[in-house]
A = this chain, B = another copy of it.
Amino acid sequence: MKPDASESDIQRVIEVVEKLGFRPHQMPGASRTAIGITGNKGAVDPTHFENLPGVADAIRVTKPYKLISRDLRPEKSVVKVGNAEIGGSELAMIAGPCAVETVEQVFQVAEVVANSGAKFFRGGAFKPRTSPYAFQGKGEDGLKILAEVREKYGLNIVTEAMDERGIDLVEKYGDCIQIGARNMQNFSLLKYVGQTRKPVLLKRGMAATLEEFLLAAEYIMAEGNYDVILCERGIRTFGTHARNTLDLSVVPAVQKLTHLPIIVDPSHGTGRNYMVNPLARAGVAVGADGLIIEVHPCPEEALCDGAQAQTLEQYQELYTQIKAIHSILTQEEMTIASA
């Protein structure tokens, strides 16, 4: 739509799309609204739309993904998560323990995270564990602790759901629903979360190609939930010096093809305490919109993923360093933009 298109112009287009039997996807942006169309078999005749008032252009997206594409919406999406944003000019820091264990553990971390200036808190109440005999998370009790963190520290809660019941609960207690790497192609779950109206943090599968990753996001958006944040968390390769191989090249690739924000998870991406800080720095330098970092008051006692958790002190040092790098990038961009 044109920047000056009126609300009734937009509604008019939506009605036409619906009359044709297709599904309209209204995606408002800072200056312009894009309207995606899905449900069509084969190409849609653009003459249906291009002369309607307020319509700037009718573009056919030939890529397999439509709604996430820069072709549909050239400007970058900024996703509102609770009272903050991911994808804007500020770097999003999501920090917290791997798993919610106790109120004390969670509050101890949350206090440091809140004081550092970060706006998002992570912590798992439902834990996807390789073994059925490993700690599976505290479930709804864990979510209640996270809700207290929001109330007490003003942090926005990002937490994983593994099934429909979990999504219903996270929708109730949290601010952002995380879909984990192992569920990236759990298509039923993607459709279900696409019907909620909470933002979704979608992690890349361990063996997902870029196209599969993007189409997983498309699954969510095709159901009407356009608030998707992508997350690179390492892929599986032959390498053994790190738990996964963090593939930072996916960041510029996602930014070239899509309007979605993308963040980096150096904790799962490396699985090694001493690698988290350098790879966090690299994640910011490559241009990610944020980081998700595991922090534990006492990593060696963590019920899950202790080997990769940062101590409270390490977290503070890390955040200081990456803010400095992020400010360099922002200045650079301003310099380039003003040149």
Q: Are A249 and B253 in contact (CB under 8 A)?
A: no
Closest B-chain residue to A64, C-beta based? Answer: B131
Question: Of residues A211, A282, A286, which shows the largest number of chain B Cβ atoms within 10 Å of its Cβ?
Answer: A282
State the CA gap A162–B329 with chains docked (Å).
Answer: 39
Select one of B163, B187, B188, B253 contacting A241, CB under 8 A. Answer: B253
Provide the residues of chain B in CB contact with A166, threshold 8 Å. 188
Q: Are B207 and A132 in contact (CB under 8 A)?
A: no
Q: Are B128 and A241 in contact (CB under 8 A)?
A: no
Q: Are B249 and A245 in contact (CB under 8 A)?
A: yes
Q: Mark A128-164, 1 if CB is under 8 A from B, else 0.
A: 1111110000000000000000000000000000111
Closest B-chain residue to A207, C-beta based? Answer: B207
Given known A237-B237, A245-B247, contact A131–B215 (CB-CB < 8 A):
yes
Q: Which of A237-292 contact B (CB under 8 A)?
A: 237-242, 245-253, 256, 269-270, 272, 274-275, 278-279, 281-287
By secondary structure, the A interface counts as helix
Of the listed stretches A8-16, A84-92, A320-328, chain B binds: A320-328
Min CB distance, A183 to chain B, in Å? 6
Provide the residues of chain B in CB contact with A278, threshold 8 Å. 248, 251-252, 285-287
Q: Mark A187-223, 1 if CB is under 8 A from B, else 0.
A: 1111100000000000001110111100100110010
Q: Mark A307-334, 1 if CB is under 8 A from B, else 0.
A: 0000000000100110011001101100
Closest B-chain residue to A133, C-beta based? Answer: B38
Given known A128-B185, A163-B188, A183-B186, contact A209–B240 (CB-CB < 8 A):
yes
Provide the residues of chain B in CB contact with A317, threshold 8 Å. 336
State the CA gap A67–B336 with chains docked (Å).
Answer: 46
Select one of B183, B238, B275 contacting A249, CB under 8 A. Answer: B275
Q: Are A207 and B206 in contact (CB under 8 A)?
A: yes
Q: Are B129 and A187 in contact (CB under 8 A)?
A: yes
Provide the residues of chain B in CB contact with A205, threshold 8 Å. 207
A235 within 8 A of partner (CB):
yes
Provide the residues of chain B in CB contact with A215, threshold 8 Å. 130-132
Given known A275-B249, A282-B248, A285-B325, contact A238–B209 (CB-CB < 8 A):
yes
Provide the residues of chain B in CB contact with A251, threshold 8 Å. 278
State the CA gap A270–B332 with chains docked (Å).
Answer: 22
Q: Are B240 and A210 in contact (CB under 8 A)?
A: yes
A48 within 8 A of partner (CB):
no
Given contacts A132-B219, A183-B186, A278-B287, 17 further A-B contacts (CB under 8 A): A130-B215, A162-B187, A163-B188, A182-B186, A186-B189, A237-B237, A239-B249, A241-B250, A242-B249, A245-B245, A245-B249, A251-B278, A281-B287, A282-B283, A284-B285, A320-B332, A325-B328
Chain A contacts to B: CB under 8 angstroms: 38, 64-66, 128-133, 162-164, 166, 182-183, 185-191, 205-207, 209-212, 215, 218-219, 222, 235-242, 245-253, 256, 269-270, 272, 274-275, 278-279, 281-287, 317, 320-321, 324-325, 328-329, 331-332, 336
Closest 5 CB pairs of A and B: A207-B207, A285-B285, A163-B188, A182-B185, A282-B282
